[in-house]
Structure 1
Amino acid sequence: MEKAYKLLSLQKHISHSQAKSLIDSGLVSANGRKLTLARTLLDPKTSFQIQDIAPLRIIEQKGDLLVVDKPAFLESYAIQARFQGYELLHRLDRETSGVLLLARSQSQTALEIIRAFKARKVEKIYYALVSGIIPESSTINAPILTKKGKSAKSKVHKDGLEAITHITPESIVGKKTLLRVKIETGRTHQIRVHLAHIGHPILGDTLYGGANAARLMLHASDIELLGMKFHAPLPEEFRIR
């Protein structure tokens, strides 16, 4: 047995640090299962697969506003770094894809959108592919408590902040359900925590008990605010048959 990053380094002819970075970024699978720890001990004959990051697509760039379709595995802050003079107005988890808003720093547009988020005057629609069958629409109203350290992790807890999530099944195939999700609040990992709480974790969500998948199957498809609407098409991997 050998550590995963050393085997990956040897097989792909890359440095140990590059191998660790790829595994830490969630881009590596071993024998079809995503690796989460670079020091996992594996058989030397293990077969590795490295997932490519899809290209970043600009949805709209007008005035001080920049709207992009964020690919999975690209950090929100890495996108901000690509566009000098712009700031993030919200963020998406690394493996979550979809609509992401930026604006020129300290611009009136940035201030207005930040105020809209704080006043809950933003409508956000997501799609999530989950384990199990969810036959009917429902609302999850359960407070969320977040513990922040090196990384954040949340849970449903009576001492948490109000969190409201509306879910609607769009399609069911086998034992998987594609959900349309609308959130009224924006707690850390809210959708992930709420779906795990009702026993239907998102596929690929290793932090909250999700089944194996190439990525966290969560996509921010639509944002509507201040009379503007932005849409990012559902990635092909969400189209269950």
Structure 2
Amino acid sequence: MKEKAYKVLALQLGISNKKAKELIDRGLVYAGGKKVLIARGEIDTKTKFKVKETNPVKKIFEDENIIAVDKPAHISSEEIEKESGAKLLHRLDKETSGVLLLVKNEEFRKRAIEEFRKGRVFKEYIAWVQGIVAEETKIDLPILTDKKGHRARSRISYSKGKEALTTITPLEIAAKKTKVKAVIKTGRTHQIRVHLSRIDHPIIGDTYYSGPEYERVMLHAKKIELLGYSFEAPQPKEFEKFI
């Protein structure tokens, strides 16, 4: 007998259907060693689930202008904005961890947005990618983003895309996978994910852009610098113990 996955999970855990669907949508639910991707997909009612816990949001810094937090994977930027009462300055994808900035006053927000617009914000990420990256690589390919409802998908487009520059540097190689540093000059939607996929080194866990399945997208926003501020979030344990 089959039933929608979120309903089976709700019954098994004794929680509401809404909470069960939220857990699946966050990417926290596994069955048979594989992530359950579609909450409304039908599944055997005897399926046994494993639910992964999320890490807490950690505050890095706060003053009269800005709040910097270390965002864990599986929590959206918008959830953190709602909890903090401050406004997001930028966003990280739900499964991307690392430094996330929120602003506390409009004057500072306008100054910071101008820094982003002029490309004067330093942003450094780390990622585990498929294949061996042997040397530093500059990816200068324009990106076009299509948005449908709450979903966005980006692609390389020479005719309609906006300038996007990513510099990739290998840090560690193991088991035909490479940990890389990614520094982005621009900040297009899904920029690092699209660029790495295009050069045949998709990020581990990034099935949306042709990466192999894993428990999360292995992308972490390590460092950001703007307007005299500098914030850093240490890499999560899963990046250190990946291989």
- Same topology, TM > 0.5: yes
Q: Which amino acid aligns with 2:113?
A: I
For 1:138, the equivalent position in structure 2 comes to 137
For 2:206, the equivalent position in structure 1 comes to 205
Distance of 2:162 and 2:43 partners within structure 1: 41
Gaps of 5+ in 1: none
Distance of 1:205 and 1:228 partners within structure 2: 30
Post-superposition CA distance 1:9-59 (Å, at most 9, x none): 222222222222211121111212112111333334433121211111111
For 1:71, the equivalent position in structure 2 comes to 72
- Bigger CA drift: 10-19 or 231-240? 10-19
Q: Which amino acid aligns with 1:115?
A: E
Deviation of 1:143 after TM superposition, in Å, equals 1.0
For 1:183, the equivalent position in structure 2 comes to 184
Post-superposition CA distance 1:61-119 (Å, at most 9, x none): 112211111111111111111122x211111111111111111131x322221111111
Runs of 4+ in 1 over 6 A off after TM superposition: none
1:32-181 pair list within 5 angstroms: 32-84=33-85, 86-106=86-106, 108-150=107-149, 151-158=151-158, 159-181=160-182
Normalised to the residue count of structure 2, the TM-score between the two structures is 0.93
Cα RMSD after superposing both structures: 1.4
Over the matched positions of the two proteins, sequence identity in percent amounts to 49
Distance of 2:37 and 2:108 partners within structure 1: 39
Distance of 2:101 and 2:237 partners within structure 1: 22
Normalised to the residue count of structure 1, the TM-score between the two structures is 0.94
Deviation of 1:226 after TM superposition, in Å, equals 1.8
Deviation of 1:167 after TM superposition, in Å, equals 0.3
How many residues get paired?
239
Post-superposition CA distance 1:121-167 (Å, at most 9, x none): 00000011111111111011111111011111011122211111100
Q: Which amino acid aligns with 1:118?
A: R
Gaps of 5+ in 2: none
Evaluate the alpha carbon distance shift between residue 41 and residue 175 of structure 1 in structure 2; reply closer, same or farther with a 3 A threshold.
farther
For 1:10, the equivalent position in structure 2 comes to 11
Distance of 1:105 and 1:78 partners within structure 2: 19
For 2:27, the equivalent position in structure 1 comes to 26
